[in-house]
Structure 1
């Protein structure tokens, strides 16, 4: 062996020790001068070799050295392949945050150096000052000189502190000393000893001694508190209140009844199966006071799961509020029935059961998911529970005047905090119903109504609240746990007067074991330090203390540990082990969580070491789901994984191998079978059938080889592939528009997520592909590939296409025309006219602002903005008046500066944003786009884009975001952006529109609108809170509402059944609301339409959007399906005549003009489904940052937008006409109508 191999082997051991990975990959340079001819040349010959070493199996150092020697020799023999070529061949996933293939470099510098004699001069090597750059995360270089080894380490200072590197060097040196003394030493024994400074810090961080009266249980503390504050409110539930004295009385009554039926020889389990009510609280404390251990059961669980828990726990008693529950039919023990207040109404003694009780002193038994396919019971003692409650009383703390809103299901152990902590302190528990706790909007309403001072929930629940429009509550203590808390959510939850606490702990260590107050959302989120009488060790694979900063298994000891698993001694012995650090006979619970100590003494979680996961706060063993799958007849094997579809949206995916592959998998039957034994949160969202499970060479499941989850396959049951060229072409266009990889010929466009906007895009593409004038109605009549293909083949289709034929002017670039002013488009003409009526009105300023956390480089941003201005003529366009007509003046060059401003606080940012948004544009001067960056910290920015509506629309903003990000990332990487040339510019479109929409075509479409809107009521007399002003001032506000995921899904299903779109369903219901409020059956509303019916226009920034007037006839009190059919007919006809600008319709109808209201309609309705656009800036996290608007173009505008968890509605209204309460009431009524129609 060579010295290089010895040093590299030791370095591999060091990397394995500090990364926790036995597979080490290190780069090393090699001279690349294998030929003697090049030895004397000056040139770049050096290459990089990648040394991959398996350190697993705890080899001796001599054995590891043999492995390194073999790998090195093989690498040297194949050294001529350039590293760049290797990367090109392997194609690793690229990440700008680190180098490909390896991130650590190791080198032995032994290049010959010989000083040439210079007369009168002594030459010797000198030290080189370290630079301020690092090519890799870590570069480890050993240098031979005069028989000595010198070590230099170059490191990325964004990742490591100097003290960490010094520690690494010290450990490496100790390894080399040990290797020299004993080459046969086991590698697992190398680098074990921690520095005394680390040992001292770890001891300090685990100094959590807390004194309290250990002889008093939690239930005794609750009863004692009732004696101190008998009249204080203990429980609130749906308007009903119960004092502490009344609660104590109920607890005593419940305990007396239970003592009469409990066997007296040992501690028995009393199961609790009640809905969320005061009875739930009384049952919990009553069972413990009677000497039983309570077992919480969720009424939402499948009957089979409840029956298993009752049987496995050996429950002698079941407390319930409904004796007729299906899950209780097989229960043979004693049944205690209670009312909502917790009073016992009846006792049905069962047959004597031969049950095995639990250990004396057990407070409760709670079941968690089990890897064997069956849930396992965890036994928590009164001592552990009391220690936890006392610790929580001190930190985060609770006071007698506090009000805690309880939202967690009783079967989730953190519910114990919600019920017990307030009642031991004289505070109040407010109980949210199961329905309210699961509905973001309802929960937000309850918070506003009951004004809690404390609330505990999982990040998923907090995110659900925020997505429902909850604005937060000042002075609230927010406890967040059960899942990782990310920075974005932390920032949303934080406010100057709130306390945000991040909590962590497994069920086996009594609810929470650590906690941390989060001061801001910009620093790394940790789980803090141990609570009272709790110690935490981070141990390596040999159960030794890991160095500070090094990942290992998080193990918990102290007074919070469970007694073990109920009737599972083998599993208890596996997970609860003797503490190898304390040497006092104490126990540790091995959590299976991977974590590390940070140098500030807080704990950072790094994921799981096994296959246990957390989903929406619930701990799930994926093995349990796999066992449930393979228990279903017809399933031979199964693998279950989690997939994060989008941030915050994680779902379960099941890969199954059917016993009869040709027959496939009946996913509907499979889900029904699983629901019999698994709760809904454990039922896979997607099932993928496979011929076999991929395996690694050692026979384990190769999860990396599983196919990527295809969420687009949902709804693709009965897939039939295209059968000819026409179907293939149409299917390709379906897939292109819907963003799906494959479309069956019988798949419905609308069931696959299509809507009216996408329908317009699809029809435009089919027109281009087939040179046929396909009417939009054809897609609604035949929304499948097969149906449209047949339509395209038929003679009728040809005849219809001829009947609807229009002058087919070619849309092409007209470069020469830029030397002169170009006529504005029709919509630009109208907006120019409005601007002349009210100069400086900011109501048509389009504003988009994004929070950018991380690195935002100004120079690439300025280059990107300049590139976009040159790419899109609209960004270099002003609108000038020439002889009373609006004209586009396009400049060859236009500079749009990026304005950088430093802002001190969030409030100041809001104020400045509002001012930027209100600043008017001069249409004749320009530029008509502005870019601002508001800096609130070194790595915190708000990027603001403001553009006048006359040169852009909502679709344009998505294009702008996508291309701005593309250009920024390219310039940041030192290259110019690459994008396909634009087929046309907006000015080309304006010229084309005026040529195409003229003469017969204009008259044909105007004829439709004359007939459709003739005789329509020009006003919609909604009841207002104030008289209408003579002139609109466009002062506005907005109200937000939320439609649950369940209701949204039902609305989409209704649209599918009726062969309409979701927009049509929502509009029909809104028409009904307006008819009810206005008292008239003739209702006209406006709705925007993208106006990009040609594929050439999809990538342009410009003002294309048009407004359609949809008139609804509600005469004769139609059923909703009849009204929906009318709305569908009207909408399809409107889409077929959408090219006439709204301004032309107004000119044609000549309504009586009134400066106090908009002509033709006063209410706007919209479902946002244009492309969202993504501002993905490398080196930064980007999220939306709302801009408060106080303008309103119409009396009322309703905008709905789709998300993964439901529909969100925003009601923008004229504050000169309406109060907030009036609009909120209208929104509530609209939601009621939608709920009724499904």
Structure 2
């Protein structure tokens, strides 16, 4: 099957660039694999379903793309390995794994995704019984967001029903270029906005937490029933269900002793031009507030803060401010909340859909995932088991449920009168303070102990010149930290490209995490030449 981008090679978006650098630095991987499943009951036409998958890829060629760096710039290009569209028959008792489960996704049955070579998407139709099938779709987050899952489902159903999928009005690259231009226009405004609001808080107080972490690791999840009454209470207060849930989450974090309750949220950056596009149109932005007064009043404070943030929704904080190192999560605690209004039907079949399935990885310390559908709000807490044990996460879930139940009963009550945990104001006994983003990272020069890596003055001068050129600074010292100088992921890519061009050395992106200084980069160049 031949798949290609509309224009052969197109510029990547800023969000894709940030994700690509994170993955190249060893901080991404399977955590960026998004999965959803369609369970189909009835006389399914196997050939027609597989053909529908191909039609969806043709309409959305980003699903057949790879991200490649050329001369310090990131582009999308046709992937060397096309999307996998396959069929598995497990009706005769195959592996005792549920399609789409974390165990299934980690098994040989699950197709591996590769952002550099492809595939970046995979469609697997699994036959479980003569009239029972599951279509599992796994897509790399760099070419897919939550809304994209719904678009994929809608197009799959339409194509299976015999409809011809129309071409998109603009290419993904054109949309990405337009977004980048808008971001450039808003950079100064965004810098002013975030300068007083951004605090690089790598610590968080949670019951039983041993430390905080901002990198992707194998994770676990606890299902969380928010309880009835959320929709009605939010409407009564004049806020959205998302605003209500975020306010409750922040009140709980504050009760655990966090002076500023900081939660990073996923914000859609879609426009009228990109509303039909499958792709990455989302930005992660922090909301940091100190709860006070009544819950109703604080919920409106959250609402006003979000309205301010939304004005600059397309601008990544790291791009506006610089000085933020590549990481899997912007802050230790994050939240995603998505509303799904439409039900998807497949011709002649009874269909049920599982959106945003848990893939067995978490990209921070604690993440609250909520999906608001016609069937109600379903949610789960995803957590890093090396930071929080399951009992502690279940305690957090119970505390949030109790708090929300209290708010539903008395939405106008002062926050101090709500059912807050008795541990308020302190970390659970026995917990250790947070230790930062990458406690297990070992500087490159320590890993290479015993080898000669001391760069000479000429090499230090060459690397310094590259940094000055990239960062547009006249004077940089050998021990200056790239991120303290305001560097960001685009600067890393340019430095790597200039070192490759002038010194014929391919730098590892990981060195910018371990030793992000001129001296550290020069030492890595010496090691690479040995």
Tell me the SS of whatever aligns to 1:997.
helix
Q: Does 1:1180 align with 2:340?
A: no
Number of residue pairs matched by the alignment? 399
Deviations 1:539-595 (A, max 9, x none): xxxxxxxxxxxxxxxxxxxxxxxxxxxxxxxxxxxxxxxxxxxxxxxxxxxxxxxxx
Q: CA deviation at 1:1119?
A: 2.6
Counterpart position of 1:1036: 219
> 1:1068–1:1127: 8 Å Cα contact kept in structure 2?
yes
Measured in 2, the distance between the counterparts of 1:990 and 1:857 equals 37
Counterpart position of 2:142: 950
Counterpart position of 1:1071: 250
Alpha-carbon distance change, 1082 to 909 in structure 1, aligned in 2, over 3 angstroms: closer
Question: Of the candidates 1021, 1041, 1044, which is equivalent to residue 205 of structure 2?
Answer: 1021
Deviations 1:132-175 (A, max 9, x none): xxxxxxxxxxxxxxxxxxxxxxxxxxxxxxxxxxxxxxxxxxxx
Matches within 5 A, 1:548-559: none
Matches within 5 A, 1:1073-1092: 1073-1077=252-256, 1079-1092=257-270
Q: CA deviation at 1:893?
A: 11
Q: Does 1:1061 align with 2:247?
A: no
Measured in 1, the distance between the counterparts of 2:223 and 2:232 equals 21
Matches within 5 A, 1:609-758: none
Q: Does 1:1101 align with 2:289?
A: no
Counterpart position of 1:935: 127
> 2:369–2:379: 8 Å Cα contact kept in structure 1?
yes
Q: CA deviation at 1:1039?
A: 0.9
Counterpart position of 1:1225: 395
Counterpart position of 1:877: 65
Measured in 2, the distance between the counterparts of 1:1211 and 1:839 equals 21
Deviations 1:272-295 (A, max 9, x none): xxxxxxxxxxxxxxxxxxxxxxxx
Deviations 1:368-418 (A, max 9, x none): xxxxxxxxxxxxxxxxxxxxxxxxxxxxxxxxxxxxxxxxxxxxxxxxxxx
Deviations 1:727-752 (A, max 9, x none): xxxxxxxxxxxxxxxxxxxxxxxxxx
Per the normalisation by structure 1, the TM-score is: 0.31
Alpha-carbon distance change, 1023 to 917 in structure 1, aligned in 2, over 3 angstroms: farther
Q: CA deviation at 1:967?
A: 0.6
Counterpart position of 1:995: 181
Matches within 5 A, 1:780-1179: 819=7, 821-838=9-26, 841-890=29-78, 896-903=84-91, 904=93, 907-910=96-99, 911-915=103-107, 919-970=111-162, 977-998=163-184, 1000-1013=185-198, 1015=199, 1017-1027=201-211, 1032=215, 1034-1045=217-228, 1047-1056=229-238, 1060-1077=239-256, 1079-1092=257-270, 1094-1114=271-291, 1117-1145=292-320, 1148-1151=321-324, 1158-1159=329-330, 1161-1170=331-340, 1174=344, 1176-1179=345-348
Tell me the SS of whatever aligns to 2:296.
helix
Measured in 1, the distance between the counterparts of 2:402 and 2:369 equals 17
> 2:247–2:299: 8 Å Cα contact kept in structure 1?
yes
Tell me the SS of whatever aligns to 1:886.
strand
Alpha-carbon distance change, 981 to 820 in structure 1, aligned in 2, over 3 angstroms: closer
Tell me the SS of whatever aligns to 2:393.
helix
Alpha-carbon distance change, 1209 to 870 in structure 1, aligned in 2, over 3 angstroms: closer
Measured in 2, the distance between the counterparts of 1:1100 and 1:1040 equals 31
Alpha-carbon distance change, 1025 to 1209 in structure 1, aligned in 2, over 3 angstroms: same
Alpha-carbon distance change, 870 to 1196 in structure 1, aligned in 2, over 3 angstroms: same
Deviations 1:344-375 (A, max 9, x none): xxxxxxxxxxxxxxxxxxxxxxxxxxxxxxxx
Q: CA deviation at 1:913?
A: 4.5
Measured in 2, the distance between the counterparts of 1:822 and 1:1235 equals 49
Tell me the SS of whatever aligns to 2:113.
coil
Measured in 1, the distance between the counterparts of 2:164 and 2:16 equals 31
Deviations 1:1072-1120 (A, max 9, x none): 100111x13212111111211x222111111101112111123xx4332
Q: CA deviation at 1:1025?
A: 4.4
Alpha-carbon distance change, 1125 to 1049 in structure 1, aligned in 2, over 3 angstroms: closer
Measured in 1, the distance between the counterparts of 2:128 and 2:28 equals 29
Deviations 1:455-492 (A, max 9, x none): xxxxxxxxxxxxxxxxxxxxxxxxxxxxxxxxxxxxxx
Measured in 2, the distance between the counterparts of 1:1120 and 1:1206 equals 23
Q: CA deviation at 1:937?
A: 1.9
Measured in 2, the distance between the counterparts of 1:917 and 1:1067 equals 37
> 2:248–2:400: 8 Å Cα contact kept in structure 1?
yes
Measured in 2, the distance between the counterparts of 1:939 and 1:1177 equals 14
Tell me the SS of whatever aligns to 1:984.
coil
Give 1 or 2 for the bigger CA radius of gyration.
1
Tell me the SS of whatever aligns to 1:1118.
coil
Tell me the SS of whatever aligns to 1:915.
coil
Measured in 2, the distance between the counterparts of 1:826 and 1:874 equals 15
Measured in 2, the distance between the counterparts of 1:918 and 1:891 equals 19
Measured in 2, the distance between the counterparts of 1:1111 and 1:898 equals 45
Alpha-carbon distance change, 1202 to 839 in structure 1, aligned in 2, over 3 angstroms: closer
* Bigger relative CO (Cα 8 Å, ≥ 6 apart): 2
Measured in 1, the distance between the counterparts of 2:251 and 2:28 equals 37
Measured in 2, the distance between the counterparts of 1:864 and 1:1050 equals 39
Matches within 5 A, 1:122-161: none
Q: CA deviation at 1:1206?
A: 4.6
Q: What stretches of structure 2 of length at least 5 have no aligned partner?
A: 412-530
Alpha-carbon distance change, 875 to 1190 in structure 1, aligned in 2, over 3 angstroms: closer
Alpha-carbon distance change, 916 to 1198 in structure 1, aligned in 2, over 3 angstroms: farther
Alpha-carbon distance change, 932 to 1142 in structure 1, aligned in 2, over 3 angstroms: farther
Q: CA deviation at 1:914?
A: 4.3
> 2:263–2:333: 8 Å Cα contact kept in structure 1?
yes
Tell me the SS of whatever aligns to 1:1189.
coil
Q: What stretches of structure 1 of length at least 5 have no aligned partner?
A: 1-816, 971-976
Q: CA deviation at 1:836?
A: 0.8
Q: CA deviation at 1:1221?
A: 1.8
Measured in 2, the distance between the counterparts of 1:918 and 1:1143 equals 34
Deviations 1:1113-1154 (A, max 9, x none): 23xx43323322321221110011112024424xx2524x59
Q: CA deviation at 1:873?
A: 2.1
Tell me the SS of whatever aligns to 1:1085.
strand
Deviations 1:52-76 (A, max 9, x none): xxxxxxxxxxxxxxxxxxxxxxxxx
Q: CA deviation at 1:1189?
A: 3.1
Measured in 1, the distance between the counterparts of 2:376 and 2:159 equals 33
Measured in 1, the distance between the counterparts of 2:197 and 2:389 equals 33
Measured in 1, the distance between the counterparts of 2:255 and 2:346 equals 48
Alpha-carbon distance change, 1169 to 858 in structure 1, aligned in 2, over 3 angstroms: same
Measured in 2, the distance between the counterparts of 1:1137 and 1:993 equals 12
When the two chains are superposed, the root-mean-square deviation of aligned CA atoms in Å is 2.9
Matches within 5 A, 1:482-501: none
> 2:186–2:312: 8 Å Cα contact kept in structure 1?
no
